[in-house]
Amino acid sequence: MAFGVRPVTEADLENIMRWRMDPDITKYMNTDPQLTLEGQKRWFARISADADVRYWIVEVDGAPAGVINLTGLTRQDGVLGWAYYVGEKALRSVKLALSLEMSLYDYIFDVLGKQALVGDIFTLNKGVIQLHLFCGSVVLEEKKRHVCKGGVWYDVTFMGMTRERWEEVRATKKYEKIDFQHAEIDL
């Protein structure tokens, strides 16, 4: 299988809306949105004009599979946030997840010259936490009862990777490289 990323386009909005409202996806996210296509178009217009964020469609063999994004691109301290999900269940794989994460590290540290990448994960999502640990990320903090959704409180684990740490562990990792740099609209 070949993995890739490309910028989100308006043609992707229905897929993104369907994925983002899928209970399999939202159970691990801070919100359970009820999205509309008009709302998605407004969201797309906002992110398209926002220099602080970047969104890509994840592809497997050319088929749209999910979304990956960066936030904080305009921060002066060089610390970015990120998140992703693969909405197409048949296209999910550990190999894809590893390739996305480690290729994103290459991109943000080698191409963008940033200092750190941080993200938050519902603590009950043990598989993703283990995946991040395997990629070299470290646990920064765990916040108990940090997010309330539907009257239920969830613990959240904050994880991160620094430029220095990635330089230390990169040679020990094997992954299919995904080219984020050439998937940008405004390079």
pLDDT recorded at residue 156:
98
Q: Where are the beta strands (DSSP E) in 33-182?
A: 53-60, 63-71, 79-86, 116-122, 138-149, 152-162
pLDDT recorded at residue 187:
34
- Condensed to tens digits (0 to 9), the pLDDT of residues 158-176 reads 999 999 999 999 999 999 9
pLDDT recorded at residue 183:
74
Boundaries of every domain in the chain: 3-183
- Condensed to tens digits (0 to 9), the pLDDT of residues 88-119 reads 999 999 999 999 999 999 999 999 999 999 99
CATH architecture, domain defined by 3-183: 3-Layer(aba) Sandwich (3.40)
Pairwise CA distance, residues 36 & 146, whole Å: 27
pLDDT recorded at residue 184:
61
Residues of the chain under the 50 pLDDT cut? 185-187
pLDDT recorded at residue 186:
43
